[in-house]
Structure 1
Amino acid sequence: MISRAHGISVSSRPIEMVERKGKGHPDTICDRAAEEASISLSKYYLDKYGRIFHHNLDKCVLIGGQARARFGGGEVLEPMYLMIVGRATTKVDKGGSTDVVPIGSIILSATKSWLRKEFRFLDVDSHVVVDYRVKPGSVDLVHVFDSSSGVPLANDTSLGVAFAPYTETERLVMETERLLNSPDFKARRPEVGEDVKVMGLRENGSIHLTVAAAMVSKLINDRDQYASVVKDATEEILRMADRITHDDVEVNFNAADDYKRDRYYLTVTGLSAENGDDGQVGRGNRVGGLITPMRPMSLEAAAGKNPINHVGKIYNIAAQEIVNRLTSEVSGVDEAYCYMLSKIGHPIDEPQAVQVEYYGDASEDRVRSYTTSLIEEELSRLPRIWEDILQRKYELF
């Protein structure tokens, strides 16, 4: 069903709230761990057997450690603990012989590799313990996965939800985190760690950004240097904001700091998880990279789900592609939403329902005609969408 939306669009409402958890946030670390494990296992299956077997590694928890940070130094006292949990094909029948898939070595190697790459001050050998608990998949879901002779069959009855385009507030929140974790910014201000969270509030014509950024203690000698880093970071955010919005923007950087009581957001590793902040898959950014309570959202965690037939992953991606293209390719469509519902055991390109709503002055006939062909095109891509997922072409969290 395709229809013009009713009510007030998000950008026209008097208040708006949006959040992004950066790559070093404990919840995002869990999302990344689950997804990288799935990608690595999928590539192993492909290289070894020519196809991806059933798996879902979409459960992960990060238990925070203990650390003591101080200006000019600090130490990690107890390591973080990262546990990846799920189901997978652990044995493959090769016609008379059975291969045992080295699940553990695949997951541990992949996880430690990207942790080393992404976090400058994390010693993977001593600051974090990486573990896994992966068992064979349930018989019914394995059957659904393996029984499709052509188009894969949906392994769940689930929703995919997406919207486009981003509002100025959403763009500003997204770009603030990206700025602070960009290589260029890190080269200028290496004192800012990777654990960055941004909360945006638009109200009464102004946008208020609350930024929490873990600071690297060994690179900061005293309070004055800390204050200088905060000032520089705040000014860079405001300069970037001028390119995104004409609204007044206020930045509150590390709001919990209390200079009079010598309380600062100092960390040894640049990660809050070093000292008791825990994480879990699905508590962070949705597909598209934001947490948007003012928008319809799916509660599905896309990270770690298999890329072949898990509609909790691929329907959210497909819905996002549909609204991205609709709003960019059809003049007069200012804002669009897409909802996709699957049915377990049915081909993934035959959803139970697809609902598209839009705001704007484009004619309903034109939007309906274009969107119908757009939906058909995106659905036809679903059987091969795994190829782009393995290439990390989509922002899943």
Structure 2
Amino acid sequence: MTNTIVIGNLEDDTIEMTERKGIGHPDTICDVVTEQISVALCQYYLEEFGAILHHNVDKALLVGGQSRPAYNGGEVVQPISLTIAGRATHQVGDKKIPVREIAIETAKKWVRENIRHLDVGRHLRVEAKIRPGSEDLVKLFQRFGQGEIPLANDTSFGAGFYPNSLLQKLIIHIEELLNIPETKIKFPFIGEDVKVMGVKGPSGNHFTVAIAIIDQYINDLNDYIAKIERVREWVVTRLNLSGSTVQINTADDYPSESIYLTVTGTSAEHGDDGQVGRGNRINGLITPYRPMSLEATSGKNPINHTGKIYNYLAMDLSRALVENQLVDEARVFLLSQIGEPINEPQLVHLQLKNRKVDKKLIKDLTREKLLELPNYWKRIIYQ
């Protein structure tokens, strides 16, 4: 599809692009770590005080390290730096809360368990700069602890859609296949940093896959080339993609031996940086052809931060509308207003395809979902 120019109209669905970043991608690391810190804080607050306290730990910056990959194994010469920032409740009465310690240990634990060749002690430095929250936002939050409907802490919108297109489903399948334990046993040289870009166009589906290859399992250039091809053929066979084009590590330059080798299995080891909010949306995809919010949901509190919970609700409501056979396809948009009850959005906009029932049934289901919002935090932190 090189240099292909396609001119269509707004109703044209023959062209589509979608992206997914795997668990080892620097942006995904930032997203998942901040979300895990929020969950850890929620659990601590619940255990110690019986209620979740105010926090938003939704800022993280990963500064890539420096490494020297080499056939049969190289080295990391400068560690990755991960800085977590945000706001949280640090003290209740005389009891101090170890927010910093919780954040750092949670980040290290996740990396240790999910990026198998990254040595947390030698390859990663984590810093937490989490301060107390502003008084006005804390007050909006406190209604939750008193058993009242929380008030929205931001004027924000959420967006969601259902179902996924075939292209979107395949992109998820490709990344998940490359990162499941079975695959790591079969192909131990595959790192966790996997990115898949998919395009549906006039010539069919085309997938460009970037895989961080772990150097200690590669003997030389020919070995690298052979293993890349084995993986490509295996993905095509396993997922029945014979009618699609699949390419892996297309930036490789074999004549100069410039190839995608890493020591740890993530590009974060050598200059590729990461940031919260630049990766997948909560449905695991980046979808420029379908509705999505640019809000960084990771790390935001699950009680009254509508920039988080409205995106979850939009996804869940769109799915419910389809699965209850009320429509064939749904797109949901919700807008909050700061200081108003979270279950009373300023606007709920539904875009529906092939509506099958009276509008009243759809409105009833929507109101039912809105009534669930005060307890929605359970769906988020216990998922």
Q: Report the TM-score range of the alignment, normalised by the length of the smaller protein.
A: over 0.9
| Inter-CA distance 166–8: structure 2 relative to 1 (3 Å threshold) | farther
State the 1:52 CA deviation: 0.6
User: Match of 2:54?
Assistant: 54
Q: Secondary structure at the match of 1:233?
A: helix
Out of 296, 300, 308, the position equivalent to 2:295 is: 300
Asked whether the 8 Å contact 1:330–1:367 carries over to 2, the reply is: no
Letter in 1 for 2:220: D
TM-score, normalised to structure 2, is: 0.94
State the 1:313 CA deviation: 0.7
User: Match of 1:353?
Assistant: 347
State the 1:368 CA deviation: 1.9
Q: Deviations over 1:249-294 (max 9, x none)?
A: 1011000111111111000000001000000000111110100111
- The alignment covers a number of residue pairs equal to 373
State the 1:14 CA deviation: 2.4
State, as a whole percentage, how many aligned pairs show the same letter: 46
User: Match of 1:338?
Assistant: 332
- Asked if 1:180 corresponds to 2:202, the answer is no
Letter in 2 for 1:253: I
CA distance in 2, matches of 1:60, 1:80: 13
Asked whether the 8 Å contact 2:17–2:288 carries over to 1, the reply is: yes
State the 1:367 CA deviation: 5.2
Asked whether the 8 Å contact 1:217–1:266 carries over to 2, the reply is: yes
Asked whether the 8 Å contact 2:30–2:62 carries over to 1, the reply is: yes
State the 1:235 CA deviation: 1.5
Asked whether the 8 Å contact 1:205–1:248 carries over to 2, the reply is: no
Asked whether the 8 Å contact 1:57–1:88 carries over to 2, the reply is: yes
Where do 4+ consecutive residues of structure 1 move more than 6 Å? none
State the 1:229 CA deviation: 1.9
Letter in 1 for 2:81: Y
Letter in 2 for 1:305: K
Asked whether the 8 Å contact 1:82–1:130 carries over to 2, the reply is: yes
Asked whether the 8 Å contact 1:35–1:305 carries over to 2, the reply is: yes
User: Match of 1:383?
Assistant: 374
* Equivalent residue runs for 1:234-253 within 5 Å: 234-242=232-240, 248-253=243-248
Out of 361, 364, 374, the position equivalent to 1:373 is: 364
User: Match of 1:4?
Assistant: none
Q: Deviations over 1:326-363 (max 9, x none)?
A: 122216x3321000111111111111111111122x34
- Asked if 1:164 corresponds to 2:162, the answer is yes
Q: Deviations over 1:109-148 (max 9, x none)?
A: 1111111100110000010101110000011101111145
CA distance in 2, matches of 1:162, 1:175: 20
Q: Secondary structure at the match of 2:76?
A: strand
CA distance in 1, matches of 2:14, 2:337: 38
Q: Which moved more, 1:146-155 or 1:114-123?
A: 146-155
CA distance in 1, matches of 2:372, 2:227: 47
Asked whether the 8 Å contact 2:143–2:149 carries over to 1, the reply is: no
Q: Secondary structure at the match of 1:56?
A: strand
Q: Secondary structure at the match of 2:113?
A: helix
Asked whether the 8 Å contact 1:87–1:136 carries over to 2, the reply is: yes
CA distance in 1, matches of 2:255, 2:209: 20
State the 1:152 CA deviation: 1.1
User: Match of 2:65?
Assistant: 65
| Inter-CA distance 146–253: structure 2 relative to 1 (3 Å threshold) | same
State the 1:41 CA deviation: 0.8
Out of 239, 259, 265, the position equivalent to 2:260 is: 265
Q: Deviations over 1:173-198 (max 9, x none)?
A: 11111110011111110101000000
Out of 135, 138, 142, the position equivalent to 2:138 is: 142
Letter in 2 for 1:73: G
Q: Which runs of 5+ in 2 are unaligned?
A: 1-8
Q: Which moved more, 1:145-154 or 1:308-317?
A: 145-154
User: Match of 1:14?
Assistant: 14
* Equivalent residue runs for 1:169-248 within 5 Å: 169-242=167-240, 248=243
Asked whether the 8 Å contact 1:241–1:249 carries over to 2, the reply is: no
Q: Which moved more, 1:101-110 or 1:267-276?
A: 101-110
- Asked if 1:119 corresponds to 2:115, the answer is yes
State the 1:224 CA deviation: 2.4
Q: Deviations over 1:52-75 (max 9, x none)?
A: 100000000000000000110100
State the 1:8 CA deviation: 6.0
CA distance in 2, matches of 1:234, 1:328: 34
Q: Secondary structure at the match of 1:162?
A: strand
User: Match of 2:270?
Assistant: 275
State the 1:226 CA deviation: 1.4
User: Match of 1:3?
Assistant: none
State the 1:389 CA deviation: 1.4
Letter in 2 for 1:180: L
Q: Deviations over 1:30-62 (max 9, x none)?
A: 001110111111111111111110000000000
Letter in 2 for 1:309: N
Asked whether the 8 Å contact 1:161–1:316 carries over to 2, the reply is: yes
Q: Secondary structure at the match of 1:248?
A: coil
Cα-Cα RMSD: 1.5
Asked whether the 8 Å contact 1:326–1:336 carries over to 2, the reply is: yes
State the 1:228 CA deviation: 2.3
Q: Deviations over 1:194-250 (max 9, x none)?
A: 0000001111041110000100000111222212221122122212442xx7x9310
Q: Secondary structure at the match of 1:292?
A: coil
